[in-house]
Structure 1
Amino acid sequence: MAEAKHITMSAKPEDPDRRGFLLGLPATGAALVVAGALPVAAQGVDTPILRLFRQHCAIMDATKICISASTGKSGDEEVERLSCYSGEIEDEMMALPCTCAADFAAKVIVDTCRGGIFSAWETGALWIEARALTGSEI
């Protein structure tokens, strides 16, 4: 019976390859690497920020539908109503502290209008929290 080789992080493998590297990782480290590769939904993570984010996405999708279907004032009123509601959700999201990377990613998506704009570096809630999370005074 062949003897299994175990590569530790302190030992240099004779023939380094991906399998050997993964075998050398501590079990918890490997689990974290694998878990980190999964989308948040697959990990079962559900935070207040992510719940608000899903609501915000649904409102933004509904707003797009209203805008494309709008033929008059009634459509404009609905877009205005949805915009006000999405603004309330954004304010609530930005006021909550992030509890995981997905929370921060959701805030980035919302605060930048899906990458379209950026808030002010000095006063934007996103950047204030980013500096706090990284210990940055810049």
Structure 2
Amino acid sequence: MMTRRAMIASLPASTIAVGSTASSPAMARAEDDTPILRLFSQHQAILSAASVHVRAANGKDVDEDLERLFYRRSDEIESELMALPSTCAADFAAKLVVDTCSGDTFSDWETGALWKEARALTGTLK
């Protein structure tokens, strides 16, 4: 089974959005400056840099480098981002991207922060 880190490292840089989420015309709203979207932008930039680093390593074992240079900080950002309540649809979408590793995995229905918030937002808490 492929680990989350291996999936992230294997993503082409074009898959990972870099920079402000406000760069998309559909996202150009006042809500773009939420704490979640600011963290999301940082998170995506770190993952993009990690992907570039892996390609530049050209087959060398870079696990320690990736952990030290990229993944410790991206994990911190992810935890902070997922702990914040969504204040708009874009916040929830950013959480969805982060929690699913850009759609490659899914968190646990019962314990995953994303699904807990989804149930709370839809009034289907257990």
Shorter-chain TM-score tier: 0.7 to 0.9
Q: Deviations over 1:73-115 (max 9, x none)?
A: 5x43331121111111100000000000000000000000000
Residue 48 of structure 1 pairs with residue 35 of structure 2: yes
CA contact (8 A) 2:116 2:125 kept: no
1:77 corresponds to: 64
What TM-score do you get using the length of structure 2 for normalisation?
0.73
Distance 1:121 1:77 in 2: 31
Paired residue for 2:92? 104
Matched, 1:116 2:109: no
Query: In the alignment, residue 47 of structure 1 is paired with which amino acid?
Result: T
Task: For 2:104 and 2:57, locate their aligned partners in 1 and report how far apart those are by CA, in whole Å.
Answer: 23
Report the CA distance between 1:69 and its aligned residue: 1.0
What secondary structure sits across from 1:92 in the alignment? helix
Question: Which amino acid in the other structure matches residue 29 of structure 2?
Answer: Q
Distance 2:63 2:86 in 1: 34
TM-score in terms of structure 1 length: 0.67
Asked whether the 8 Å contact 1:94–1:125 carries over to 2, the reply is yes
**Bigger Cα Rg:** 1
Residues 9-59 of structure 1, C-alpha deviations (whole Å, 9 max, x = no match): xxxxxxxxxxxxxxxxxxxxxxxxxxxxx522x224210000000001100
Give percent identity, aligned residues only.
59
Three-state SS of the structure 1 residue aligned to 2:53 is helix
8 A Cα contact 2:86 2:92, kept in partner: yes
Query: Which blocks of at least 5 consecutive residues in structure 1 are unaligned?
Result: 1-37
Q: 1:63 aligns with which of 37, 43, 50?
A: 50
Q: CA RMSD in A?
A: 1.5
Indicate the SS of the match to 1:39.
Answer: helix
Unaligned runs of 5+ in 2: 1-24
Q: Which runs of 4+ in 1 moved over 3 A?
A: none
| Conserved 8 A contact 1:50-1:103 | yes
Tell me which residue corresponds to 2:81: 93
Task: Name the structure, 1 or 2, with higher relative contact order (CA <8 Å, separation 6+).
Answer: 2
